[in-house]
Structure 1
Amino acid sequence: MTHKNIDYKKYLDTSIISKIKNLELRARMVVEGFMIGLHKSPYHGFSVEFTEHRQYMQGDSLKDIDWKVYAKRERFYVKQYEEETNLISHVIVDISNSMDYKHSSSVTKLEYAITLAAALVYIMINQQDASGLVLFSDKIQSYLPPKSNQIYLKTLLAQLSQIKAKGLTNTGVCLREISEKIKKRGLVIIISDLFDDPSKIIPALKYFRYKKNEVIVLQLLDPMEINFAFEKDSIFVDKETGLEINTQPRQIQKAYQTTINNYLHNIKSECLNHGIEYNLIDTSEPFDKALMSYFFKRKKLY
């Protein structure tokens, strides 16, 4: 099969993908675009095949051999079943009101998070991995434990498609509570803008690691939240409290950039120091950066 004539980049472009209403279709297109892009990239040899089959091993039942696959490859493969799940994952999504923001991007941080989370659970379950979903703001809004069957995928996607931003931010406390709910160690993926006190966030992230989980942090920010490149006098409104502030952005741009850079550096350094994979995601960027982070982590684990 060749991907030579397919423009895979459009499948990863937020402005194009966001126009697709059906979340399952959106997730599938993002995943397919990522797979095609990976095939054409320097990581061509990097294996990300869905593990619906595995090679036949002595002791396997002959009735489980997929003879259609044998006809194509002349090797014996058996179909995998739910109990052969490889990895247990929890996708944790911040749905607080601060996530309902966009300026320079075509989507809000929450819209980006929903599509990214949908693509991740789509990949995981199609790899026979178990995936769960947790939504939080100032409290845990929803907790769906990990499972690995296709019917459950539809449950996860239905939950994601119904998300509306709500609640204040209480990231540190919520993450600690979520970590207490996770009984079996696995992979934890946190999707959030992390707009909370780092002194509360970092201990919560460390606790996931203390419980032997692998952790990926995907911090989503609109480009304007990073560069603060506003040109005109503006009224800034806090998405969570409604507080309004009149300001001249150019006068505070340098101070803002210094503050946000220090904050981001602190978060990143603390994560790396404690074995937590950290990625800053600009919501105008395509989805492949975050997906690549997941695949590299999974390859290290298995």
Structure 2
Amino acid sequence: MAAVEKYLKPEVIRQISRLDLRAQFIVKGFMQGLHASPFHGFSVEFSEHRKYTQGDNPQDIDWLVYAKTDKYYVKKFEAETNITGYLAMDLSGSMAYRYQKELSKFEYATCIAAALCYLMVHQQDPVGLVTFGEKIIDVLPPKSKRQQIGNVLSHLARLKPRAKTDIATSLIQLAAMLRHSSLVMIFSDLLVDPEPVLAAMRRLKHGGHEVIVFHVLDQAEVDFPFDGLVELRDPETHERIQVDADGFRKDYLKAIGEFRETYKRECAKSRIDYLPLHTGMPFDKALMEYLLSRRNMG
């Protein structure tokens, strides 16, 4: 398993410069880990079957799967299996933050998005890309053809976080733009007032869309590894303040914990999948969240 896990570590991925190779490494490590875990067979199950529920025709039960799992699954019909996914990338200036030599928040998010693009196209699910700052900046329409991987990855590789952000306005725009039920995967550090953002996420959910929030923070933003007098700079306003890190740490950690807890609690109420991540975490947790969400849509 150690060889598999290395593919999923940000510090290993950071040494690979090309995004397509980064994505392939992550997916390879993830799929190998899946097969070497209690989830063996899950990668087939989640894509082609769903659990038998009352009202299903018993003739649709897949007895081969039952023989392996002792559980009743029915084969999904073509119309059930395909979902349209949108990778929604926050281009706010704060996403460029990195502490020391780690992946920036944006690079980390881009690696996950690229890997998800591979997984979706592999399942013949259409996937598109939306970038936003103060409003939606660019849209790459969803497609399921193999060349879409190249389209999405080359676009992701050219992106640079630069804009001020208005996440709520951008998500409301996205909700108005989507015509069919879709899976919306949001990548952001969410470093704004949570209330309008949560309201916009609820609007997406009420529009019939599944929503996964990949809340990406830098590991330093979560752990606050600073000592003594430090200068903090707002990446969007460029405002600078000096703080005594030792005196500030306790209040900071309490505030960041409450901030994440607010999103966790409110998203749970609205049946929105919320995944708190930081740039030191292996990538498999994020990919598993996608698989579980996708499976639930069946």
Report if TM-score (shorter chain) is over 0.5.
yes
Instruction: Report the CA distance between 1:47 and its aligned residue.
Output: 2.8
Query: Residue in 1 aligned with 2:252?
Result: 256
2:168 aligns to what?
A: 172
TM-score of the aligned structures, taking structure 2 as reference length: 0.85
Letter in 2 for 1:286: P
Match of 2:7 in 1: 11
C-alpha distance in structure 2 between counterparts of 1:37 and 1:163, whole Å: 30
Q: Which residue of 2 aligns with 1:22?
A: 18
Q: Check conservation: 1:105, 1:284, Cα contact below 8 A.
A: no
Match of 1:214 in 2: 210
Query: Aligned pair in 2 of structure 1 residues 84, 262: CA closer, same or farther (>3 Å)?
Result: closer
Answer yes or no: is the 8 Å Cα contact 2:47–2:295 preserved in 1: no
Please give the alpha-carbon distance, in whole angstroms, between the structure 2 residues aligned to 1:209 and 1:300.
Answer: 14
| 1:276 matched residue in structure 2 | 272
The aligned amino acid for 2:83 is L
Query: In the TM superposition, what are the counterparts of 1:219-298 in structure 2 within 5 Å?
Result: 219-298=215-294
* Cα distance between partner residues in 2 of 1:269 and 1:22: 37
1:205 aligns with 2:180: no
**Structure 1 residues 75-131: Cα deviation after superposition (integer angstroms, max 9, x where no partner):** xxxxxxx99971111111112110011116720000001111100011101110000
2:108 maps to 1:112: yes
Contact 1:215 1:277 in 2 (8 A): yes
Quote the Cα distance in structure 1 between the aligned partners of 2:79 and 2:207. 23
Superposed CA RMSD: 2.0
Distance 2:18 2:260 in 1: 34
2:113 maps to amino acid: A
Alpha-carbon offset, residue 142 of structure 1: 1.1
- 1:293 alignment partner, SS class: helix
C-alpha distance in structure 2 between counterparts of 1:51 and 1:221, whole Å: 30
Looking at structure 1, the residues matched to 155 and 252 of structure 2 have their Cα atoms a distance apart, in angstroms, of 36
Other-structure match for 2:65: none
Residues 50, 159 of structure 1: alpha-carbon distance in 2 compared, 3 angstrom cutoff: farther
The alignment status of 1:299 with 2:281, answered yes or no, reads: no
5+ residue gaps, structure 1: 53-81
In the superposition, the TM-score normalised over structure 1's length comes to 0.84
Q: For this pair of structures, how many residues does the alignment match?
A: 269
Counterpart code for 1:47: S
**Equivalent-residue separation in structure 1 for 2:252 and 2:136 (angstroms):** 31
Shift of 1:256: 1.3
Are residues 1:148 and 2:144 paired? yes
CA distance in 1: counterparts of 2:15 and 2:46, whole angstroms: 27
Q: Partner of 1:163 in structure 2?
A: 159
Judged with a 3 Å threshold, the aligned counterparts in structure 2 of structure 1 residues 48 and 232 are, in CA distance, closer, same or farther, namely farther
Pairwise CA distance, 1:44: 2.1
Q: Does 1:102 align with 2:87?
A: no
Q: CA deviation at 1:51?
A: 6.5
Matched, 1:124 2:120: yes
> Is 38-47 or 229-238 further displaced after alignment?
38-47
Q: Hey, what's the Cα distance between the residues in 1 that align with 2:102 and 2:220? A: 12
**Contact 2:46–2:295 (CA under 8 A) maintained in structure 1:** no
Which amino acid counterpart does residue 176 of structure 2 have in structure 1?
Answer: E
Give the Cα separation in 2 of the matches to 1:50 and 1:296. 8
Q: Distance in 1 between matches of 2:147 and 2:228?
A: 50
Identity %: 39
